[in-house]
Amino acid sequence: MNINTLAKSSFIILQLLFICACKTDSKSDALSPTIIESNDTLIILDSLIQADVRNPDLYFDRAVYYKNKGLFPKAKADIYSALFIDSINADFYMFAGDLFVDMGDGANAAALMSKGINMNPKNEDLYVKAIAYNYYLQRYEAALNFTRDLIQLNKYNAEAYFFKGMIFKEINKENEAISSFQTCIEVDPGFYNAHMQLGLLFSYGGDDLSVQYFENALRLDENSREAMYAIAYHYQQKDEFNLAVNQYKKMILLNSKDHEIFFNLGHCYIGLDSLDKAYKHFDLATQIQPQYAGAYYMKGNLREIQGNNAEALMNYQQALNMLPGDTTIILAIKRLK
């Protein structure tokens, strides 16, 4: 069975990264210090707005309240009221962008950032959000233009170089991506995600320089499963199975319930022609995660190789119960019947 866990994990992590990057350290999700959250918060906010209908901060506070309660349409109405009264406030634009992202409307979020930048041309946080939203929408040219504008505004903004690297990576300009990530860590040596991206780019080409970048990331976050996994998976993909096994074993010491690690160890032991050890580790994966169809399939595959068709069939059937209609599993079962 084909497994590309690292790539899938990286994609998920990047999605989360860009959503998180859109939430800068503004006052976006916090009420004003004068407003204490309680059961009467909405009543208090309503009465304050009635007494001072031209106060944009009060509409903002009520928008925050509604957003935190998941009442997005009401939050949207209030943040528009706040912006109508005060069309310059950068925090209002950033909150509105976050709100639209939560509502699944990235296009409006991006449009608001453009307007916010026009009103606040030196606010770096607005540029970062504009880049992130356009990246998420796959508007790479627009995102790249915002990175250039941000670098022109502040050539030491590490996030601009990081996003520039991500954009180049998406449009398959690997050398430019590497250059941008390297500039990012020159500006900010503690930029964890830039080290990880450099590691991934070099790993895709089988270059062991990737390990150096993953280890740099580990120095920044010594318990990073992502970085440890990347090192092990790099060696596994290069068929350097002993090095991969050693790295995976370090991870087990930190978390003995990580079923993916046992699964990958199973594949490494197949590479080392240790089929019994491989089966043991696939079996451990299914003990930890009983719904792990891939591990059951591999158990079946190993038993088939070893001539134990009855046990192979049992494991294949377990896998099929979890993945009905999977053609690879169905063919394996037909092969034994």
Cα–Cα distance list, 298 to 78, 118, 238, 310 (Å): 55, 57, 21, 15
Residue 206, pLDDT > 70, answer yes
Structure tokens at 26: 């503004």
Which residue carries 């080392």 as its tokens?
A: 272
pLDDT at 92: 97
Give CA–CA dist 178/56, Å, rounded: 44
Cα–Cα distance list, 116 to 31, 89, 102, 134, 158 (Å): 21, 8, 19, 15, 21
pLDDT at 30: 59
User: CB of 106 within 8 A of CB of 76?
Assistant: no
Structure tokens at 2: 């084909």
- Residues sharing a CB contact under 8 Å with residue 42, sequence separation 6 or more, in sequence order: 62, 65
Q: CA 156 from chain center: how many Å?
A: 24
pLDDT at 14: 46
Domain boundaries, the chain: 247-337
pLDDT in tens, 138-176: 999 999 999 999 999 999 999 999 999 999 999 999 999
- Of the chain, the percentage scoring pLDDT greater than 70 comes to 88
Which residue carries 């790249």 as its tokens?
A: 144
With bands split at pLDDT 50, 70 and 90, how would you rate the model's confidence at 11?
very low
Element housing 269 (H / E)? helix 259-271
> How many CB atoms within 10 Å of residue 237?
14
pLDDT in tens, 315-332: 999 999 999 999 999 999
User: CB of 317 within 8 A of CB of 297?
Assistant: no
pLDDT in tens, 62-121: 999 999 999 999 999 999 999 999 999 999 999 999 999 999 999 999 999 999 999 999
Between CA 50 and CA 59, with CA 53 as vertex, the angle to 5 degrees is 95
Instruction: Identify the CATH number of the domain defined by range 247-337.
Output: 1.25.40.10
Give CA–CA dist 125/285, Å, rounded: 44
